[in-house]
A and B are shown apart, each in its own frame.
Chain A
Amino acid sequence: MDQDLKTELSKHGIFATTFEELYNWGRKNSVWPLTFGLACCAIEMIATTMARYDLARFGAEVFRPSPRQADLMIVSGTVTKKMAPQVVRLYNQMPEPKYVIAMGACAISGGPFRDGYNVLKGIDRFIPVDVHIPGCPPRPEALIHAFMALQDQISAQQLTGESRPRHLKRELPSEFPVPEFGEHGLEPPQNDEVFHNPLKVLQG
């Protein structure tokens, strides 16, 4: 339907849309995050929800403490190897459709603590991540930008066809294996189906 006809109809009080747009509009404006703060970035996440940079006006009205009621996991802070199995378990417990924002340098790739013996070099070694925000810590405005980028991603998703999102394809997994504590590190150290080594991608 072309745009002029739409505006003409809307002047008469008739609103025309597609099912896909309506479905995505409802989903993107009510993304409820999980209360999941690990380290310093958690304080900036809390500051984003406070009165000055209000995140509630974007739809993240309540932060749910239970993963069964949340849609979004904002991994804010360094993920250590001791905490990694818990993060994957929480991700598995969230119902589809679910999204992950990796907030801060530590969640993306280990950050300034990358040389640590207890630091996991990025949460995308075990679970798929939708939006990455750099920063140490990222400003509250950067987190709002990431939230808006996630909303754009959601509104661009198509309900039918090959490029439909993961939660509508029955054959794709929505739960990922939980790593175990080994003697010198985690077993396995990364999940090769989820983790795309950027150097391997460059080598072709």
Chain B
Amino acid sequence: MTLDEIRARLLAGIPGSQVEMVVNGSPSEQNSLLVDRQHGLKAALLLRDQIQLDYCSNVTAVDWPDREKTDKVKTKQIVDGVEKEIEQTIKTMVPGYLEVVYHLFSMVKKTGPVVLRMRTANRTDDVALPSLTPVWRSAEFQEREAFDLFGIVFEGHPDLRRILMWEGFTDHPMRKDYVPPPEDELELLGEQ
């Protein structure tokens, strides 16, 4: 089944869902499907039961911080009484989000990969996503790792706690804006 057919099946099978195709620029040609988080669990169940993608191989979390987008826009302005075309640079802030990518394969039909993505609303307070552990058991430890290192809260996970760092640790180290405490020999001397 091609990715377009899978997308059509998802849209037909789950009313109200939004499934977009994210095109991949590299020669690997592994395009992915972006599913909205309210219907993530239903989409996963459909993929497992109807399209027989019974093996979830990899669960990755990605951090996309807020970034500034600069656009150069040509506008017409009146300067010294004469209408001229001037190029203006407009800077807009594109809000950041956290993203989870699932790589799905089919062991029974020996096909794949089908790449599924889900995004949170922002990086600060609304970081919840549905957990796909009830669908594929292999997501259990990997979602715990995404919670530990990125801070994404998976609703419906049977045992969501830190897996690689210790329990009292408060930071999320794999985020792009994490700053480690000073411990180098130079830092200990007060210089940096």
Using a CB–CB cutoff of 8 Å, the interface residues on chain A facing chain B are 82, 117-118, 121, 181-185, 189-190, 197-200, 203
Contacts of A182 in B (CB 8 A): 168
* Residues B166 and A82 in contact, CB atoms below 8 Å apart: yes
A190 CB → nearest B CB, Å: 8
* Residues A121 and B183 in contact, CB atoms below 8 Å apart: yes
Binds A, one of B40-48, B63-71, B83-91, B169-177: B169-177
CA distance A199 to B170 in the complex (A): 31
* Residues A199 and B185 in contact, CB atoms below 8 Å apart: yes
Known A118-B165, A183-B168: A197·B184 in contact at CB below 8 Å = no
A39 CB → nearest B CB, Å: 15
B143-192 contacts to A, CB under 8 A, are: 164-171, 173, 178, 180-181, 183-186, 188-189
Known A82-B165, A117-B180, A118-B165: A183·B170 in contact at CB below 8 Å = yes
Complex: chain B residue closest to A115, CB-CB: B180
* Residues B186 and A199 in contact, CB atoms below 8 Å apart: yes
Using a CB–CB cutoff of 8 Å, the interface residues on chain B facing chain A are 164-171, 173, 178, 180-181, 183-186, 188-189
Q: Which are the 5 A-B pairs with shortest beta-carbon distances?
A: A183-B170, A117-B180, A181-B166, A117-B173, A185-B181
Known A117-B178, A182-B168, A183-B168: A200·B183 in contact at CB below 8 Å = no
* Residues B181 and A184 in contact, CB atoms below 8 Å apart: yes
* Residues A185 and B183 in contact, CB atoms below 8 Å apart: yes
* Residues A184 and B171 in contact, CB atoms below 8 Å apart: yes
Contacts of A198 in B (CB 8 A): 185
Contacts of B164 in A (CB 8 A): 118
CA distance A118 to B165 in the complex (A): 8
Known A121-B184, A184-B181: A200·B170 in contact at CB below 8 Å = no
Which residue of A121, A184, A197 contacts B169 across the interface (Cβ within 8 Å)?
A184
Contacts of A197 in B (CB 8 A): 185, 188-189
CA distance A52 to B14 in the complex (A): 64
Contacts of B178 in A (CB 8 A): 117
Contacts of B166 in A (CB 8 A): 82, 181
* Residues B168 and A200 in contact, CB atoms below 8 Å apart: no
B176 CB → nearest A CB, Å: 13
* Residues B181 and A189 in contact, CB atoms below 8 Å apart: yes
Known A82-B166, A117-B178: A189·B171 in contact at CB below 8 Å = no
CA distance A44 to B47 in the complex (A): 46
